[in-house]
Structure 1
């Protein structure tokens, strides 16, 4: 890939340093106090300034140490970027922020390798905080454009087969599944959660309470929607949801999603729609699978890219993959 270099399995942490003082913030506070004095008088301005001091103290008290440490480390990343490119560290323009995320993905780490997109996103957000604390003006639009650039480049990385980050979480074992299932309450919601945990059979029981029909994906393509009798969302009344059985083949995937995925308005005001979602799934299915987690992550980023980064409602994806084999031992619970 021309724009981005090779990835790495784990990001290297920035060395921790002391926080950099921000005299610009004090100057801004003084200007604000003078403005209050002109509008409301000296006594009111003093009381407002004391309230601001209290707000700052509360914010400092409730901000976790690891968050402050992240801000410090991310500012060091920003300074290294500015030193490498010759850009001033005190300015956060649209071009410099987009260049920042590109640099981080390409070569931002100390060893010359690129950061994982998730780490680059954290450094971008924290660097913007640092810029604003130091008196720089960073518009939301400029930050948003840098974020969109990051998402688009992350999709390209996944399509190129690069997998960056600290690796996958350890899979749950049988004892863990039993423990989770036993903890589910004896309610409709508990039955739903238990079914999700114990999905592993060739016949899948589906209960739908207000969500779009899931998509059955076979050999990388959507073959049909898994229709079932639906009712109002749980907690809003309506009829008791009815169970519908669907047969799965080995390797089948079931994509569940909330309506925020397909009802998001795109350019022109029309809804994103199920047809666009299916096209995205099928297009990505033409490429070799990188595993369930990586494929779902790629789909999530692709959908966000297709919708120009818009997410105004709950937009959740949940994918199930059936590997085959007997799982009768999971069906008997004490």
Structure 2
């Protein structure tokens, strides 16, 4: 295959941007292949399902939809988990690239890019293809809210009303900047009870929250949504950690006549100094990992769960070191019951987290494996929500979230 010029790649991208301006979400796959046809390419987009177990192809009008691909045991899955492009040749002479598709650092899936002849310069071809797929990740994210088709690709079962409510409020599962990465995961993803997570990065400060509302179903979802909204509103008004917790207290007591409470951890890291400040409202203590090992649980900053009037002013503090990891989780992770009645437990969580650190796995893949381990440990359907949030204060960790 003769080398495709930089000008041809540029022209294809410009054409694609023009085509998608008025395209519906379900028309994206067709517009992508129309724009890349002059490059002699065929592109198939696979979105990760909410369970993060299978990659499911975006339908393209007039073409049969390929079957789902498992994350475990496939080249596509390996590209997704490692966030690295993988090349494979076919018997018919075609050249195939599996490229992880991210929006910023959020893993959306993978793209299969097929050149019907092997490129003259594979490394140059890969660089152009990775840039193209990076653009596709942005376009898919932008178009996702405007229709149901792309959402349906990612779903394998019906979503509960509580799940629909909370998932619509949560930020992306992964965020990276030059100095840090925040990753999160929530299970069971279709029937969320009352768990949620949140984060915000502005200037040198990253702010984190993990919440767990009492109860199950829509009642718990509404309780958690009220607390999350109150915390965000106070945070965006410039208030500190203590005021955020008190804002959640007020929202819950004012909106609900019956007693409703939310446990949670609210934290903020100053990336200039490494100072971590946090409040723990009746929640499991965050775990600090350093040099790949869990060094301690952060036991300070205690107060009553949010929704119970508590004017205690106690903010915990910890000095982090560069490359430290902070792991927040809800009790649904460590209290997950096994077949013999044994709980998943903190020691098992720590052991798995340390093993993932030893393998230098990206943050989002670390949490995917921790969540799958907690779910697999249980004998039957999950009895409670299980939410994990991992913050890496590390530029190297942030780089590992990029293709």
How does the TM-score come out when normalised to structure 1?
A: 0.46
Q: Which has the higher contact order (CA 8 A, sep 6+)?
A: 1
Q: Bigger radius of gyration, 1 or 2?
A: 1
Of Structure 1 and Structure 2, the greater strand share is in: 2
